Structure 1
Amino acid sequence: MKKLTVFSLLFSLLVAWNSSAQTKIELTHQENAPIISKHIYGHFAEHLGKCIYEGFYVGENSTIPNSAGVRKDIIEALKELQIPNLRWPGGCFADTYHWMDGIGDLDKRPTIVNTWWGGTTEDNSFGTHNFLNLCKELGAEPYLSGNVGSGGVQELADWVQYTNFKGKSPMSDLRRENGREEPWGVKYWGIGNEAWGCGGNMRAEYYVDIYRKYATFMSNADVDGGLYKIASGANDDDYNWTEVLMKNIPKSMLQGVALHHYTVIDWADKGPDIDFNEETYFKSMKQSWLMEELITKHTAIMDKYDAEKEVDLIVDEWGGWYDVDKEKSRGVLYQQNTMRDAMIAGMNLNIFNNHADRVKMANLAQTVNVLQAVILTDDEKMILTPTYHVMNMYKVHQDATLLPLKFNSPKYSYGGESLPALTVSASQNSENLTHISFTNIDAKSNHEITIDLNELDIKTISGSILTSTSLQDYNSFNNPSKITPKNFEDYTLKRGILTVSLPPFSVVVLKALQD
């Protein structure tokens, strides 16, 4: 009995030593470090489930307070988030959407059957004017996905003219007839979506020719710097797709190449949104971590043809995707948002930040009521998810200069496999404020970090943390504030050395002041 007690004590000390072993991070200020584009913090709103209708849009006659039919509480929440851009109308829906069906008198608009998402009939009451006016109110750049799959070249060219042309033309005249004198000046345009799949099941070589054709007839007039044209890019590790696009589309016609990667453990069995175990959680983290490898390898291909980095990588669909509980569902692809989603958000945003030399835009899927949403609604009720809070904490990196860092992450191990437990990114803004964001995905262990900040002459630290008692915790309509950011004080700063203790499954953002 005594020997067992001694052994247990020694084992406990060993575990405690391993869990508290320090990880040293080297952080430097480089003259040519890239700017972390604010557009990395973009969002996505597809006509899917209750994202648009009964989400964003309730109609002007709704008893829910609204601005031109869009919920005021959602507008205010997204303003607080400082969303830089919003992608619409899809997704798969984009290649079945005909924009002219969504303009003009409401009672004269044709209906559309959403064949991709639930087979529901939509009345086209939310259209181009609604979306672009919403973006203006939010202070966000609109990112329009053009219909290449079922729409013609002229249809897309007309949409560009309708939204952007100042002078007299058939489309600008039509815009004025519909109540909008000045154009919106839409800069960001996706030329099709998932052309390898729902956008037409095309081969890369075929899509290249389609892209070049559509891009040719999209006028750059009346937009400062011209249109920013984004090609439908690869799905996950389809590196050949990126190779074919970069090799065969002239850089003069191409500003961005998309990449889609979802955190899905198995497309045939995605697992539950709430009632998951640690095994499922670990598999989710493994799939989320794949983003680092995908960006690195797609970037290497882009570098072969574009060493000057004139073409951007656009991760315009990312996030967690789980099986829908049909008994609890509030619409197609509705899912709850737990601390697992906070880990996915923090990890991916750190990855994007650290690849800011090539990644210039990303769009979380999706904004309201669908997949890894930042907002959930139930009639008049609205809640902010853990993912919302991570995005709000990380917004300090928008348009700040990346501070490159190096470190060897401790491991998060489960079932004989290991992953890096930590992702970290840092930046310094125009006011010389330094921000450092940490995500610890380890389900069980604290991890202690040290950073030498003497080069930056840091004097004062403050911070916030997002965590909870269980990975499965979430904000509900009955308890909307179960998971919210709290003040973080588990750090020390002595002689320029910052020591931080990160709890299990936590997101921490520190602000460092020079005086």
Structure 2
Amino acid sequence: MKLLKHGLLPIVATLMASPALAQAPASVTVTVDTGKPGAKIEPAVYGQFAEHLGRGIYEGLWVGTDSKIPNTNGYRNDVLAALRHLKVPVVRWPGGCFADEYDWRDGIGPSAKRPVRINRHWGGVTEDNAFGTHEFMNYSEMLGTDAYVAGNMGSMSPRDMSQWMEYMTAEKGSLAEERKKNGREKPWAVKYFGVGNETWGCGGSMRPEYSADLHRRYQEFVNPPAGKKLIKVASGSNGSDYNFTDVMMREAGSKMNALSVHYYTLPTGKWDKKGAATGFSEDEWASTLGRATFMDELITKHEAMMDKHDPEKKVALYVDEWGTWYDQESGSTPGFLYQQNSLRDAEVAALTLNIFHRHTDRVKMANIAQMINVLQAMILTDKGRMLLTPTYHVFDMYVPFQGATPYAADVKGPTYEKAGFKVPMVDVSAARGADGKLYLSLTNTDPNKAARVTTNLSGNARGRILTGPAIDTHNTFEQPNTIQPAVYSAHSSGGKLTFDLPAKSIVVVAVE
């Protein structure tokens, strides 16, 4: 009933009946092979990234106890509730490049006595360290998520890293007593620890050989208490630098539990002029989706390098930074990386998550960049106001895929081609959820043409659809519900489930 109040069903009906869709829909067939299950989709594939960058932490997660914005112990209530709804499995913090200059001792003790530093990487603004170890770890518990702490291998010693871990996890000893004095009696659970970040760039401009040597050294001193398990994550490649992965695995593969890779989708592929978040052309729609689907080739080639040294797949691949990166919004603070989020971002999210579902034997975690107010965010805030982005809605629709068992899905149909880029018109992912239901996601990448998808499945299929009238349909603080999911159901044709997909749409259903 809530969807009807927002008028979303009439919007979908209008899209289905629009002149652009009056032409015959493209014919697509999908065959799901439930006899070929893959490795489980780890919930951590739906992980988030929260860096001390722009308004991601301050105003995003944290407003402080003195704020007029409704909060609990300084954490804003509306954001916390929205994130809980997503069942966020893991959050990576404090960076990113911020982590490479971060001294964990700056963020403990009485807030008024914490030092003020310059955030050199992100806008040159001051960082008062009001949000530190206690604030993050306590927030992780409130959110019900696992903590992924990124350690500073770029500018601190192994001893510093070791002591940070001890401070967070020790039952006894001087650092445990210091933690207790600062307000936390029992140790926190740290499941993941990043041994450095982007060592090829802001984390030290290292050659892979040197990065591998430093990883071997630092990881030796990062250990949890006896009987506790810690997943140690090595800093890996920048995009398609497959040699970096090869060297890291060859020289340090036995000293890590996971290796990271970072990849961002830029409409133009150029860092000096990336393209706008809204008001873009269909050429940029196509180039963005095309560059997003490069993730599949990227993972495949990194996996091949890992297989050379680890054929048993003991080391996981973590895509712990991914998402769209546009020119930041005009008028926003330089270096804050604030951008709008449109239907195009929703399509990128769906296509990327589907790719992760196809690589579950290696890809065990992914962290979209970033959670709030930065890059491809779940949530945008403006002081006391909050809105949910199209990307948030995709993550919401995809919640049943967390912990699900994926199946191979063969798709036969046309491609969408524009501006030299070519992607499948319809992309599909299928999986058996933890609740025993079969879930199916279908994404129509063509912004102009509908598709009729005939499957080999039978029964009933109900779920939700996300679409909009324009390729850059987005929510604003004045109109926060312009785009959000509406109810959707498939129909049966000849005993087989058939899906009518409007142009530029994403559908997720449960098949029963």
User: TM-score if structure 2 supplies the norm length?
Assistant: 0.93
- Take 1:283 and 1:57, find their aligned partners in 2: how far apart are those partners? 36
Q: How many residues are paired up?
A: 491
5+ residue gaps, structure 2: 1-19
| Partner of residue 251 from structure 2, selected from 248, 255, 258 | 248
CA offsets 1:149-189 (integer angstroms, 9 cap, x no match): 011101100011111112x2221111111111111120101
Q: Residue 243 of structure 2: SS of its match in structure 1?
A: helix
Residue number in structure 2 paired with 1:465: 465
- Out of 315, 320, 330, the position equivalent to 1:311 is 315
Q: State the SS of the aligned residue for 2:328.
A: coil
SS in 2 for 1:459: coil
Distance 1:357 1:121 in 2: 42
Q: Are the counterparts in 2 of residues 186 and 223 from structure 1 also a CA contact under 8 Å?
A: no
Query: Offset at 1:246?
Result: 1.0
Which structure has more relative contact order (CA 8 Å, sep 6+)? It is 2
Matching of residue 290 in structure 1 with residue 289 in structure 2: no
Q: What's 2:264 paired with?
A: 262
Alignment partner, residue 101 of structure 1:
106
Is 1:193 aligned to residue 197 of structure 2?
A: yes
Q: Secondary structure at the match of 1:237?
A: coil
- Contact map agreement 1:351 1:423 (CA 8 A) in 2: no
Cα separation, partners in 2 of 1:71 and 1:508, compared to 1, 3 Å: same
Q: Deviations over 1:375-432 (max 9, x none)?
A: 0000100000000000000011000111122224521111354222222111112331
Q: Residues 336-355 of structure 1: matches in 2 within 5 Å?
A: 336-355=340-359
Q: Residue 330 and residue 464 in structure 1: after superposition, are their counterparts in 2 closer, same or farther (change >3 A)?
A: farther
TM-aligned CA distance change 1:32 to 1:176, over 3 Å = same
8 Å contact kept, 2:411–2:428: no
Aligned to 2:64: 59
Is 1:427 aligned to residue 431 of structure 2?
Answer: yes
The answer on 1:487 being equivalent to 2:491 is: no
Match of 2:509 in 1: 510
Residues 54 and 21 from structure 1, CA distance in 2 versus in 1: closer, same or farther, beyond 3 angstroms?
closer
CA contact (8 A) 1:165 1:222 kept: no
In structure 2, do the counterparts of structure 1 residues 58 and 222 end up closer, same or farther at CA, with 3 Å as the change threshold?
Answer: farther
What's the CA shift for 1:495?
5.4
Write the distance in 1 (CA, Å) between the matches of 2:419 and 2:104.
50
Deviation at 1:336, TM superposition (A): 0.5
CA distance in 2, matches of 1:86, 1:343: 22
Checking the alignment, whether the CA contact within 8 Å between 2:21 and 2:502 is kept in structure 1 is no
Amino acid at match of 2:140: C
Deviation at 1:16, TM superposition (A): 8.7
The alpha-carbon deviation at position 327 of structure 1 amounts to 2.1
Return the alpha-carbon distance in structure 2 between the equivalents of residues 50 and 16 of structure 1: 40
Q: What residue number does 2:32 align with?
A: 27
Cα 1:113–1:401 change in 2 (3 A) is same
Q: What's 1:232 paired with?
A: 235
Matches within 5 A, 1:74-89: 74-89=79-94
- Cα root mean square deviation, aligned: 1.7
Are the counterparts in 1 of residues 43 and 89 from structure 2 also a CA contact under 8 Å?
yes
Structure 1: gaps spanning 5 or more residues = 1-14
**Letter matched to residue 365 of structure 2:** M
Helix, strand or coil: the match of 1:469? coil
**1:141-180 alignment to 2 at 5 Å?**
141-166=146-171, 168-180=172-184
Task: Provide TM-score, normalisation by structure 1.
Answer: 0.92
Query: Residue deviations 1:299-357, cap 9 Å, x none?
Result: 11111222221111100001111001332559710011011111111110111112111
Residue 400 of structure 2 is matched in structure 1 by: 396
Q: Is the 8 A contact 1:386 1:474 kept in 2?
A: yes
Mapped partners of 1:355, 1:122: distance in 2? 38
Contact (CA 8 Å) 2:60, 2:373: kept in 1 or not?
yes
Q: Distance in 2 between matches of 1:465 and 1:333?
A: 29
Number of the residue aligned with 2:474 = 474
Partner of 2:386: 382
Cα distance, 1:504 vs structure 2:
1.3
The CA deviation at 1:249 is: 1.2
Provide the rounded CA distance (Å) in 2 between the counterparts of 1:449 and 1:304: 39
CA contact (8 A) 2:28 2:426 kept: no
Contact 2:465/2:487, CA 8 A, preserved across alignment = yes
Pairing 1:212-223 to 2, within 5 Å after superposition:
212-222=216-226
Query: What's the offset of the Cα at 1:43?
Result: 0.3
Moved more, 414-423 or 50-59: 414-423
Partner of 1:6: none
The change in CA–CA distance for 1:34 and 1:17 in structure 2 (over 3 A counts) is farther
Amino acid at match of 1:138: L
The residue that corresponds to 1:500 in the other structure is 499
> Cα 1:196–1:159, aligned 2, differ >3 Å: closer, same or farther?
same
1:420-459 equivalences in 2 (<5 Å): 420-453=424-457, 458-459=458-459
